[in-house]
Each structure stands twice: as C-alpha cells, then as structure tokens.
Amino acid sequence: MLKGSIVAIITPFKDDNLDVDNYVKLIDYHLKNGTNGVVPGGTTGESPTLSHSEHKKIIEIAVKECAGKIPVIAGTGSNSTDEAVELSKFAEKAGSDALLVVTPYYNKPTQEGLYHHYKKINDNVGVPIVIYNIPSRSVIDMSVETMARLYELKNIVGVKDATGDLNRVDQQLKSMGKEFIQLTGNDDNALEFNKRGGVGSISVTANIAAKLCSQFQASCLNNFKDSDKFDQNLQPLHSAMFIESNPSPVKYAASLLGMCNPDVRLPLVQIKNETKQKVLEALKVAKLL
C-alpha cells in the first residue's frame, strides 16, 4: 500500500537544463533517509514547464534509481485527456508502480467530465491511480460522490487531498472505506489528517527533511507515539516552504543544504531576500543547518 512519507520530488536544473547528476543524488538521499515513495513530475517537480521528453526522462530515472526499493508514483496528469493517457501509458511501460493524476486545470470540467477523464486513463493502464485533488491550482474540486464513483473502477485506489479541508478525510472515509488510500498534499495538516484516517503525505518538506518526515509518518503509524514532537519541529519548515509559490522556497532550502541549485523556470522566480531569511531560520529550528 502507498503510505508514509512520499516525496513530491523537485526537478533540479543547471543552466536551465535538467541536472541529471543532482537528480540522481536527490533520489539516493531519499533511499538512505527512509522516504516511502517518490513522485517525479508533480507540481513540485515543475511539470508545467518540463518538456515532454524531460518529463519522461525524470520518470525513467526515478524508476531506475529506486529499483523497486520504494514505489515510484509518476505524475502523469494533464488538462488534455489524451495527453494524460499517453503519459500514463509511458509511465506504466517505464516501470512506475502507480500514477498521480491531477484534476484537469483551466478547462473547468463538470463532475461528469472529471469522471470520464479519469475513466479513460483508468481504461488504458493497468497500474494504481491516485487522484490529485487540488482546487487551489486546478480551480475545480472533485466531489466525494465523483470520487466514490471512480473508486468503483479497477485502478483508482486513493487520493492526494490538497483541499486543506480536514472534514473531507472523514467524508471520504465514510464513503469509500478504510481501503481507499488517503494521502495529504498539505504538510502542515498531516498530523490531524492521519488521526482522521489518512495514511501519509505526498510531501514538499520531505525534499529537504527526509529523515524527519519519515520518522514523523512512522510515528503516526505507530499509534502516534512522539508524533506531536516531530510535528512541532517540522511546522516552521512547512510554513516556510509556502511563503512564496512552491517549489521556489524548497529549492532555495535545498541549495543551502548543498543538494542542487535554487533555479526555477519562468514564470516562477527565485524567492525574495526576506523569504530567504525565513527559510534559513526554519532550517535552523529543524536542526538541518
């Protein structure tokens, strides 16, 4: 089952090109520090500004480097259903263990449109699909009723819930049951999310605090022993990672830790000096610097 601390891994750049060497090192860092899964090509991986060939390459590298040690949940969503199907089929063929498919942005489909979008992807692959529900970026919000309807399909197994509404955890648990995998997309609510029935997080903070995030999630799965302590230590980091648009803050934090350059692609830009100071302070509070 997909659970625990799953990283929405950043895509490092060098001179505006994919930095393969540091990408491989980042994956190795997660393998050594207890991360329970890797998501290449998600929002944090700057999928909107990756070329199709770059997107496919980071999926291939993740599969190769993880080598079955931890699952690779490839980000394969698009606001074009045919494009999402093509990328999903590629990710399955490349060896991805599961797919993370975001709700189609900009088009603003109805709930019926959402259903048929996911159904077409479901019908064209044979690996588990996690719905990525993030109204703040996609404008639309998948209803619990639509999600329950999709859960009847063979490959739909769960949700990355980035609504920020903890009541949705209860509603989804009641509607779909305990076997439906609920992962939070909001690092800051992970503790309460898990207490209500979630089983982990697809995390931004894990990019720079892999061990702390994996220890926190492990504590949640162990009857929440020491979870409050870990959560208090991580909260300043969670906050700092979203002062400006993700992934600009986490890439700057990664650069301070010597992981990669802070470079992001336009229309994203590097963070302001005052934000840099807050990121630095949060890393010190977490004893990462």
- Which residues have a catalytic role annotated? 132, 160
User: Residue 285 carries which DSSP code?
Assistant: H
User: Which string of b and e fits 231-244 if b means at least 16 CB within 10 Å?
Assistant: bebbbbbbebbebb
What CA–CA distance (Å, rounded) separates 261 from 255? 5
Alpha-carbon distance values, 77 to 22, 85, 86 (Å) = 25, 8, 10
What CA–CA distance (Å, rounded) separates 62 from 66? 6
Work out the burial of residue 175: count CB atoms within 10 Å of its CB; fewer than 13 is exposed, 13-18 middle, 19 or more buried: middle
CA 100 and chain centroid, separation: 8
What CA–CA distance (Å, rounded) separates 104 from 13? 26
φ and ψ of 99, to 5 deg: -125, 145
φ and ψ of 7, to 5 deg: -90, 130
